[in-house]
Chain A
C-alpha cells in the first residue's frame, strides 16, 4: 500500500515534538509462559502502557491451547532491543478461532445482524481508534520503526477514514432485480456475506492493512480470523481490545499472532474458512492459492509485490516530478508494495533531473521514529536489512553506478539511507526484483514507446506513475501501462474510495472502493417462477 492524503511536506522538515531519542523499557521479563499482557514504557512520550500479548478469541485474550510456551519475541528495529513477547498461535489455536468465527457468523453476525447495526459498530470502532490514536501510533512506531507522526497522521488517520468509509457501505449492499419475463418469472440477486474470512496482513503498515481488511469484511457481514505479521502483532492486539469496547459480539473478529508457516498455512488449508485475503510476498501468495486449491476451494484475494515504474517525460514539471519520485521510493523507507523503484527519465532532461532527484533524496533524514527530524524510520528487521544490503551490493557488483547512498551506517538499528543507482540494465537484480527498501534504479529512454516498453517489462503490475504536461501523452501512456493503479503527475497517494490491486503477478482481486465489497460477498441468484407451467416430458 502507499501513503494517503499527505498534506505536509515529508522531507527535511521537523515532524515531531518528542525528545530525540526513543527510550523505552520493558518491565515484562521474558518468561517461558505466555502472560496475557505486558507493560511497556514509551519514554519519548513519557508514557507507560499495558499491551495485550495473548491470542484474541471470542472477545477474550487467552493463552495458546496447546503450546503456551511458544512465544514471539518483538524487537524495536531502531535499537535492536526486545520490546516484549506475545503468544505464538498454533494450528489448533487457528482451529479454535475459526470455530468461534463460524459460530458468530451463524448466530450473532452474518445474516443475523442488519447493515445499520454493522454500520453503527464500525463507526464506533473508528471513534475509539481516533480516541487512542496517540498510543496506537507510539506502539506502531516502537514495533515497526516508522516515525510516530507518520504512523498517527497517515497510517492511523487513513485507517479511521477507511472504517468510516465502509461503515457507510454496510447498509448499502444491494443486489439486482433482473427482468426475465414479466408474466411468469422474476429473478433477483442477493450479495450474501461470504462467511468466515482468514486475513493475513504484513508488517509494513500493521494498522492500516488491518483496517483495509477488517472494514469491508465486517461491513459485508463476514467474521474474521486475523493473523497479523509475526514481526508487528502488537497494534492488532490493541485494536482487538477496541473491538470489544465497540460492542462487536464475541467471535466476530479473532486475532492470532503466529508464524506464517504455522498460522498462515493453517488458515489457507482450513476446510471451514470460506475466504483468505492475503497481503504480502508473491512467493507466499502462491502458497496461499495452492492451499486453497488443495483444500476447500476457498476464495482468495492477493495483494502481492511490485516493481513499479515511474516515467518522467521532458514536458514534466521537473521539481514536482522529483518530489513525487522521492515520495514514491522513500515513503515508509521503501517498504511499500507500490514503491516506485524503477525510474525512467527521458534522455533530453536526464542529467538535469537526476541531479535534482539526488539532491532532494539527500534531504530525507532516516532515523529513530521518535526523533523529530526523522522523515523515515529503520527497516523493520535484521532479515530485511540484510536482504536490502544484498541487493545494494549486487547492484554495485553488476556494474550499476551509485549516485547516492551505498554506505553502511555504524551503530545499532536497521537503518538504510536513500540509495540511488544509475547506469542500469534490464538484467540486473536491482531492476528485476522487488527490494522493499529505499533503493531506486534510474534508467533513461528516448521515445514514449520505449518508455512504455521498459515500464511494462516486468512480471509485476501493481503501480505505475508518469510525469508529463502533455495531456494526450498522459492519456496514451496511462492506458498502455500494465498496472492496477496509475498515477499521473503524482505518486503513492491512495484514496479509500478508489480501488487498489495488482495486474499480472502482483495479485488477484481489488481492495478499497466499492470493488472490495465483491471480495467479501457471494452472489446468489434467485429465480422465482410465478406463472410458468411445465409440461413433462418436454
Chain B
C-alpha cells in the first residue's frame, strides 16, 4: 500500500488535519511504484492543471527532492510509465476520447470545480506547505485561478468545432477536430491531492494518471514513449529542448513548451508613477520571482528614473519576508535548496560584475530558503543578471532615453515570453506593445493573466499557446474528410 500523507495544520490562517494517500495515480487507483521504491519528497501540489477536452492526461512531476523532506511518495519508474500510458490509452479508446460527448466532459469538469471550491482552503494550505508561497496567495491566486481555468474549459468541452469548406456541389468537405490522444503534462509541482477529487468527481479510471518520479527516468521515458501522442511541458528551456529532441527521435509526438523568460517592464516618463511602482513590484516579486513571465528587467525613462527608483526601493524594503502562514507575510521561502543556491549565485555574480545593490542582495535570516527582495542598478547588457533567467526575487533597473532605445534593449534577449509598458500616451502604448517581441504584452499592468487570453512564448520562450480558445488546438488533431457525392472518375 502506498504511504499516507498526514499533516495537522495549526496556523493563524488555516487549522485542519489533512490525510490522504500519496501513491502513483494510475487507472483511478493509488499504487506503489513497480519497483516499490519511494522518493523523499516535498509533496508537490500545483493546481494550475487544465483538464482539457477529451485527451487523456498523464501528469508527471519531475522535481528533485530538496533538503527539507515533508513526506515520502511512491517512485515511478519507466515500467509505471507504460502502465499509465496503457491505462490512458484504454480510457481514450473506451470511456473517454470520442466516446464521451462534450456535454458529459463538461459536467465532470464542473463537478471537479465544485469539489475544488469545497476543498479550496486545504488545497491552498498544501500548496503553501510544499511550495513556500503564502497561504493567502495560494488561496486567492493559485487555487482561485485553477478553479477559474477548469471552469472556463468546462465551457469549451461541448464547443469544439471544425469547418465545412465549400468546394464543388459534387463534393462535401469538412474538418473534425479530434482529441489528439494520450497527452503528457509535466508540471514542476503536481496535484496528488487533486487525484482524489478527480475520482470523487466521477472521471472514468485512466483519464487522468499522475506519476511522481525523477525527470531523468520518468520524464525521459515519457518524452520517448511511442504511444504518447503529445507532450505539454512547462519549465526550463534546457529541459524543453530535451523533450523536443526525444519527440523527434521517437514517434514525432506533438510538443508544446512553455519555457523561461527575461521579460522587460518599460516605464515611460508619463506613467502614473505610483501605479508603475506597485505593478513593477508585483511583476518581479510576485511568487518570489518564481514566475516564467516575471518582469525582471525594469526599464525606466530618464525623466522619472531617480524618483521611480527611490519609491521602488522603499516599496521593496517594506515587503515582509517570513512564515507563509503568517497573515502579514508577503514573501515566503524559495521552493528548494537548489533554487536558493542558484539565485544566491546570481546575486553574487551581479555584485562581482560591478552592479550596485539598491536593496536586498542577501539571504533573509540564517536558515530556510529566504531571500531578501533585491534590486540591482548600474548594470550593463552583458551581465548575467541582465541576460539570464534568475527565477527569484531579483530585478534590475535600467535607465533609458527614448522609445527606439528601449525597444531595442527590451528585445535584446533570446527569450520572448512577456513584456509590459507603462504610459498614458495611447500611441506610445500601442506602438511599444506591438513592437515588443513577446507572446504577452501588458499595458499599464503586469503579470495579470486571464484564462480566456492566450499565453505562450516567442523565440526561445516556447512553442504553442496555452489558455483561451487557442489552447484547444494543442489538444486536437485536425482531420479533413472529403466525401465524393458525384464526381465520377
Binding site for B on A (CB under 8 A): 6, 9, 111, 176, 178-180, 185, 187, 189-190, 274, 282, 285-290, 292-294, 296-297, 299, 302, 304, 320, 323-324, 327, 459, 474, 478-479, 483-490, 493-495, 497-501, 503-505, 507-508, 510, 513-515, 518, 522-530, 532-538
Total interface residues in chain B, CB < 8 Å: 79
Among B107-115, B376-384, B436-444, the stretch that binds chain A is B436-444
Inter-subunit contact A525/B454 (CB<8 Å): yes
> CA A5 – CA B166 in complex, angstroms?
14
Among B80-88, B242-250, B390-398, the stretch that binds chain A is B242-250
- Give the contacting residue for B455; candidates A274, A525, A538; CB below 8 A: A525
Specify which chain B residues have a CB less than 8 angstroms from the CB of A488 in the assembled complex.
Answer: 481-484
> CA A294 – CA B242 in complex, angstroms?
8
Inter-subunit contact A507/B252 (CB<8 Å): yes
User: With A486-B482, A488-B484 as given contacts, are A296 and B460 in contact (CB-CB < 8 Å)?
Assistant: yes
Inter-subunit contact A323/B241 (CB<8 Å): no
- With A190-B434, A515-B478 given, can you name 17 additional A-B contacts, CB distance below 8 Å? A9-B489, A178-B453, A285-B252, A292-B244, A296-B459, A296-B460, A297-B460, A489-B484, A497-B166, A497-B167, A498-B482, A514-B163, A522-B458, A526-B433, A529-B443, A536-B277, A536-B281
Instruction: Name the residue on B nearest A503 (C-beta).
Output: B477
Inter-subunit contact A474/B483 (CB<8 Å): yes
- Give the contacting residue for B444; candidates A189, A514, A523, A528; CB below 8 A: A528
Instruction: Name the residue on A nearest B176 (C-beta).
Output: A479
Specify which chain A residues have a CB less than 8 angstroms from the CB of B454 in the assembled complex.
Answer: 189, 523, 525
Inter-subunit contact A508/B165 (CB<8 Å): no
> CA A327 – CA B469 in complex, angstroms?
39
> CA A538 – CA B142 in complex, angstroms?
14
Inter-subunit contact B248/A289 (CB<8 Å): yes
Inter-subunit contact A180/B439 (CB<8 Å): no
Specify which chain B residues have a CB less than 8 angstroms from the CB of A493 in the assembled complex.
Answer: 482, 487
Inter-subunit contact A323/B489 (CB<8 Å): yes
- Give the contacting residue for B252; candidates A187, A286, A513, A522; CB below 8 A: A286
Number of A-B contacts (CB under 8 A): 210
User: With A178-B452, A523-B470, A536-B282 as given contacts, are A495 and B479 in contact (CB-CB < 8 Å)?
Assistant: no
Inter-subunit contact A525/B319 (CB<8 Å): no
> CA A460 – CA B414 in complex, angstroms?
35
Least Cβ distance of A356 to chain B in Å? 13
Least Cβ distance of B90 to chain A in Å? 16
Inter-subunit contact B439/A524 (CB<8 Å): yes
Specify which chain A residues have a CB less than 8 angstroms from the CB of B453 in the assembled complex.
Answer: 178, 180, 187, 189, 525, 527
Contact with A along B443-455 (1 / 0, CB 8 A): 1110011101111
Inter-subunit contact B480/A500 (CB<8 Å): yes
B199 at the binding interface (Cβ < 8 Å) = no
Instruction: Name the residue on B nearest A464 (C-beta).
Output: B479
Specify which chain B residues have a CB less than 8 angstroms from the CB of A526 in the assembled complex.
Answer: 433-434, 440-443
- Give the contacting residue for B489; candidates A302, A327, A494, A532; CB below 8 A: A327
Specify which chain A residues have a CB less than 8 angstroms from the CB of B252 in the assembled complex.
Answer: 282, 285-286, 289, 302, 304, 504-505, 507-508
Instruction: Name the residue on A nearest B461 (C-beta).
Output: A297
Inter-subunit contact A294/B278 (CB<8 Å): no
- Give the contacting residue for B481; candidates A274, A290, A478; CB below 8 A: A478
Inter-subunit contact A524/B438 (CB<8 Å): yes
Specify which chain B residues have a CB less than 8 angstroms from the CB of A285 in the assembled complex.
Answer: 252
Least Cβ distance of B231 to chain A in Å? 12
Least Cβ distance of A271 to chain B in Å? 9
> CA A369 – CA B386 in complex, angstroms?
61
Inter-subunit contact B477/A484 (CB<8 Å): yes
Inter-subunit contact B279/A534 (CB<8 Å): yes
Would you call the interface of chain A mostly helix, strand, loop, or mixed?
mixed
Inter-subunit contact B484/A484 (CB<8 Å): no
Contact with A along B155-166 (1 / 0, CB 8 A): 000000001011
User: With A500-B480, A538-B330 as given contacts, are A293 and B241 in contact (CB-CB < 8 Å)?
Assistant: yes
Q: List 8 A-B contacts (CB under 8 A).
A: A187-B452, A483-B479, A494-B482, A498-B482, A504-B251, A524-B439, A525-B439, A533-B275
Binding site for A on B (CB under 8 A): 98, 136-137, 163, 165-167, 171, 173, 175-176, 229, 237, 240-245, 247-249, 251-252, 254, 257, 259, 275, 277-279, 281-282, 315, 318-320, 330, 414, 429, 433-434, 438-445, 448-450, 452-456, 458-460, 462-463, 465, 468-470, 473, 477-484, 487-489
Least Cβ distance of B413 to chain A in Å? 12
Inter-subunit contact B480/A499 (CB<8 Å): yes
Specify which chain B residues have a CB less than 8 angstroms from the CB of A508 in the assembled complex.
Answer: 252, 254
Inter-subunit contact B247/A299 (CB<8 Å): no
Inter-subunit contact A498/B414 (CB<8 Å): no
User: With A293-B248, A504-B251 as given contacts, are A513 and B445 in contact (CB-CB < 8 Å)?
Assistant: no
- Give the contacting residue for B487; candidates A490, A524, A528; CB below 8 A: A490
Instruction: Name the residue on B nearest A522 (C-beta).
Output: B458
Least Cβ distance of B483 to chain A in Å? 4
Inter-subunit contact B443/A528 (CB<8 Å): yes
- Give the contacting residue for B450; candidates A180, A299, A500; CB below 8 A: A180
Instruction: Name the residue on A nearest B315 (C-beta).
Output: A536
- Give the contacting residue for A498; candidates B173, B242, B251, B473; CB below 8 A: B173
Specify which chain A residues have a CB less than 8 angstroms from the CB of B459 in the assembled complex.
Answer: 274, 296-297
Inter-subunit contact B482/A534 (CB<8 Å): no
Least Cβ distance of B371 to chain A in Å? 16
Inter-subunit contact A534/B244 (CB<8 Å): no
Specify which chain A residues have a CB less than 8 angstroms from the CB of B136 in the assembled complex.
Answer: 538
Least Cβ distance of A122 to chain B in Å? 20
Instruction: Name the residue on B nearest A528 (C-beta).
Output: B443
- Give the contacting residue for B445; candidates A510, A529, A537; CB below 8 A: A529
Inter-subunit contact B165/A459 (CB<8 Å): no
Inter-subunit contact A534/B460 (CB<8 Å): no
> CA A403 – CA B247 in complex, angstroms?
40
Inter-subunit contact A479/B98 (CB<8 Å): yes
> CA A525 – CA B470 in complex, angstroms?
11
Specify which chain B residues have a CB less than 8 angstroms from the CB of A532 in the assembled complex.
Answer: 445, 448
> CA A485 – CA B315 in complex, angstroms?
59
Instruction: Name the residue on A nearest B279 (C-beta).
Output: A534
Least Cβ distance of A172 to chain B in Å? 15
Least Cβ distance of B286 to chain A in Å? 8
Specify which chain A residues have a CB less than 8 angstroms from the CB of B438 in the assembled complex.
Answer: 524
> CA A261 – CA B335 in complex, angstroms?
45
Inter-subunit contact A513/B165 (CB<8 Å): yes
> CA A459 – CA B251 in complex, angstroms?
8
User: With A180-B453, A297-B460 as given contacts, are A498 and B470 in contact (CB-CB < 8 Å)?
Assistant: no
Least Cβ distance of A291 to chain B in Å? 9
Specify which chain A residues have a CB less than 8 angstroms from the CB of B469 in the assembled complex.
Answer: 176
User: With A499-B175, A510-B478, A529-B443 as given contacts, are A523 and B251 in contact (CB-CB < 8 Å)?
Assistant: no
> CA A288 – CA B252 in complex, angstroms?
11
> CA A304 – CA B248 in complex, angstroms?
12
> CA A285 – CA B473 in complex, angstroms?
22
> CA A532 – CA B450 in complex, angstroms?
14
Instruction: Name the residue on B nearest A187 (C-beta).
Output: B453
Specify which chain A residues have a CB less than 8 angstroms from the CB of B243 in the assembled complex.
Answer: 293
Specify which chain A residues have a CB less than 8 angstroms from the CB of B489 in the assembled complex.
Answer: 6, 9, 320, 323-324, 327, 490
Specify which chain B residues have a CB less than 8 angstroms from the CB of A289 in the assembled complex.
Answer: 244-245, 247-248, 252
> CA A282 – CA B248 in complex, angstroms?
10
> CA A381 – CA B300 in complex, angstroms?
62
Specify which chain A residues have a CB less than 8 angstroms from the CB of B176 in the assembled complex.
Answer: 479
> CA A168 – CA B439 in complex, angstroms?
26
Specify which chain A residues have a CB less than 8 angstroms from the CB of B484 in the assembled complex.
Answer: 487-490
Least Cβ distance of B74 to chain A in Å? 31
Least Cβ distance of A371 to chain B in Å? 23
Most B CB within 10 A of own CB, among A179, A187, A510:
A187
Inter-subunit contact A523/B483 (CB<8 Å): no
- Give the contacting residue for A518; candidates B137, B473, B488; CB below 8 A: B473
Least Cβ distance of A273 to chain B in Å? 12
User: With A180-B450, A302-B252 as given contacts, are A495 and B241 in contact (CB-CB < 8 Å)?
Assistant: no
Inter-subunit contact A299/B463 (CB<8 Å): yes
Inter-subunit contact B282/A538 (CB<8 Å): yes
Specify which chain B residues have a CB less than 8 angstroms from the CB of A503 in the assembled complex.
Answer: 477, 479
